Amino acid sequence: MLAAPAQADPVNDQFLNDRFLTDLSGIGLLGIDPAAATSLGQQVCPMLAEPGQNVADVAALAMDMRYDDGFIAYINGRAVAMRNAPMFPSWNSRATASRPDAEAVVPERIKVENAAEFLRPGANILAIHGLNHRVDSSDMLISATLEATLLEGGGIPLAETTLVRARARLRGQWSAITEAVFHVFRPLDALRITEIMYHPLDEETVDGDAFEFIELKNTGGEILDLSGVAFTEGIRFAFPEGSVLGPGGFLLLVADYAAFQSRYPGVEAVFGVYDGKLSNSGERIVLADANGDALFDFTYGDAPPWPAAADGGGASLVPVDPASPGDLNSPSYWCASAWLGGSPGEDDPGGLTEGGWQVPGDINQDGRLDISDAVSTLRALFGGAPARLPCQGAGPGDGGNRLLLDLNADARVDIADVIHLLGYLFAKGPSPALGVRCTRIAGCPSACR
């Protein structure tokens, strides 16, 4: 007997009929009865509420999860929590990271925000999609408990941030009015716009506009439900029902998917393609929630003091402090990306805002890192320096040359840096300390192609 996901409805559930059973048929499991599979799935998964409970009385839900290596938790078919999970999971997805056994056995408390939205009167279903990091793993742990906190009488629930004015009456006399603002946290407050590539470089015969993208990040610790969230000014894109973004996760909206993939082949965070384009001279951007209320409403620009490198110079706009809500209308909120081409799908590493674009370790200035750079560095160290070192400084260990060639970040250039490079190139060793993408290095010219 095969158990279907416990959130499934054997009659009406499109997920069960179109995704779950289709995926199983793809690996040779045929002839599965949806009703029987769902019945078993519901027997092995715990119920969250007894019939007759009023879901409006539930103020909060919290899960205590023990897991090795990752999971996605669903309440009544809607994702409410995930750890070490891919953004777009399938039945055979792996965890995105391993979890040490010592941590796995300790329950992690995870709050479920806006709990009443996920519950329904009567029986509720909690389903867990367990994930292992490796297919040959010898162990797996998924253990969940769910705790509900009920509303108590006498209070006035607030659905949104509200200014409350109140006074008390004692023996027929009224006190002075006291006022206070009560802040109600919205889950989408953790959403940030973390990168805007509005004026990319051209590429041969391809206009740079084709490589535009805008990046969103969930900076919080809970899943964000993006259903109905939409860009309404500048570009146009509406997130469909069921769109979620996991804790710490990134997603990208791009102007042209094929062009983006040609420039960023290893980036897997693309969520969709937007309508319109980002103006090269700056414009207003509005991202609104499902009710049409603005989450972000700001105007970026291209004239000083806005970062010049982002205006056709190969960099993107990134926040100086991605964790801060800040004022997105202010040029001081933004800086140019540390890497040429930006850092779509990951945090910008930060760094210098001056200097030429260089691939760290590229002593021969051909725009790439290979064995010839290791040989040239050895010659510079032991066989007489090349006719001309690429950056400012009297030798390999001075000025911009040291910044370029110090691959192990020990503040000097020596044989250890050559060994570091060879290990990266041929033995799957760590990459250079500054990465392997074009980054600014003070005292050096631009050599990236």
Note every long-range contact of 101-105, with CB atoms under 8 Å and residues 24 or more positions apart, other chains counting. 101/68, 101/139, 104/66, 104/67, 104/68, 104/69, 104/141, 105/66, 105/141
Q: Which residue has the tokens 């705790």?
A: 147
| Residue 185: band (very low, low, confident or very high) from pLDDT cuts 50, 70, 90 | low
Q: Do 409 and 357 contact (CB within 8 A), yes or no? A: no
Q: How many CB atoms lie within 10 A of CB 22?
A: 11
- Looking at residue 431, the DSSP 8-state letter turns out to be P
What the block records as the tokens of 416 is 């250890």
Residue 33: the pLDDT is: 62
| Residue 401: band (very low, low, confident or very high) from pLDDT cuts 50, 70, 90 | very high
Residue 16: the pLDDT is: 47
Q: In what order do the strands lie in the sheet with 284-288?
A: 237-238, 230-233, 284-288, 294-299
Is 6's pLDDT higher than 70? no
Q: Do 215 and 194 contact (CB within 8 A), yes or no? A: yes
State the Cα–Cα distance between residues 37 and 21, nearest whole angstrom.
10
What average pLDDT is seen over the chain?
83
What tens digit of pLDDT does each residue of 301-330 get? 999 999 998 999 899 999 988 877 789 999
Q: How many CB atoms lie within 10 A of CB 260?
A: 22
Give how far the C-alpha of residue 420 lies from the chain's centroid of Cα atoms, to the nearest Å: 30
Residue 387: the pLDDT is: 59
What the block records as the tokens of 194 is 């973390």
Q: How many CB atoms lie within 10 A of CB 5?
A: 22
| Residue 271: band (very low, low, confident or very high) from pLDDT cuts 50, 70, 90 | very high
Q: Which residue has the tokens 């969250």?
A: 48
Q: What beta strand segments (E) does 30-140 contain?
A: 58-68, 70-75, 78-83, 108-112, 126-131
Give how far the C-alpha of residue 254 lies from the chain's centroid of Cα atoms, to the nearest Å: 15
| Residue 56: band (very low, low, confident or very high) from pLDDT cuts 50, 70, 90 | low
Supply φ then ψ for residue 317, to 5 degrees.
-85, 130
Is 439's pLDDT higher than 90? no
| Residue 25: band (very low, low, confident or very high) from pLDDT cuts 50, 70, 90 | low
Q: Residues spanned by CATH 2.60.40.1260 within the chain? A: 190-336
The total number of residues written for the chain in this structure:
449
SS3 103: helix
Q: Residues spanned by CATH 1.10.1330.10 within the chain? A: 356-441
Compare 4 and 57 and report the one with higher pLDDT.
Answer: 57
| Residue 338: band (very low, low, confident or very high) from pLDDT cuts 50, 70, 90 | confident
What the block records as the tokens of 193 is 């716009």
What tens digit of pLDDT does each residue of 206-223 get? 999 999 999 999 998 888
- Looking at residue 333, the DSSP 8-state letter turns out to be G
Q: Which CATH number fits the domain 14-150, given the four candidates 3.40.190, 3.40.50, 2.60.120, 2.60.40?
A: 2.60.120
Q: In what order do the strands lie in the sheet with 108-112?
A: 108-112, 58-68, 141-150
What tens digit of pLDDT does each residue of 34-44 get? 565 555 444 44
Is 45's pLDDT higher than 50? no
Phi-psi region of 383 (alpha: psi -120 to 50; beta: other; left: phi over 0): alpha
State the Cα–Cα distance between residues 416 and 420, nearest whole angstrom.
6
414-427 as b/e: b if 16+ CB within 10 A: eeebbebbeebbee
Q: Residues spanned by CATH 2.60.120 within the chain? A: 14-150
Is 380's pLDDT higher than 70? yes
Dihedral angle computed from the Cα positions of residues 413, 414, 417 and 418, in that order, rounded to the nearest 10 degrees = 130
Is 8's pLDDT higher than 60? no
Dihedral angle computed from the Cα positions of residues 392, 393, 398 and 400, in that order, rounded to the nearest 10 degrees = 0
CA distances from 298 to 9, 277, 279, 284, 327 (A): 43, 16, 14, 6, 8
For the 190-336 domain, the top CATH level (class) is: mainly beta
Residue 354: the pLDDT is: 73
Compare 403 and 29 and report the one with higher pLDDT.
Answer: 403
CA-only gyration radius of the chain, Å: 27
Q: Which segment, 37-41, 143-147, 293-297, is predicted with the most confidence on average?
A: 293-297
For the 356-441 domain, the top CATH level (class) is: mainly alpha
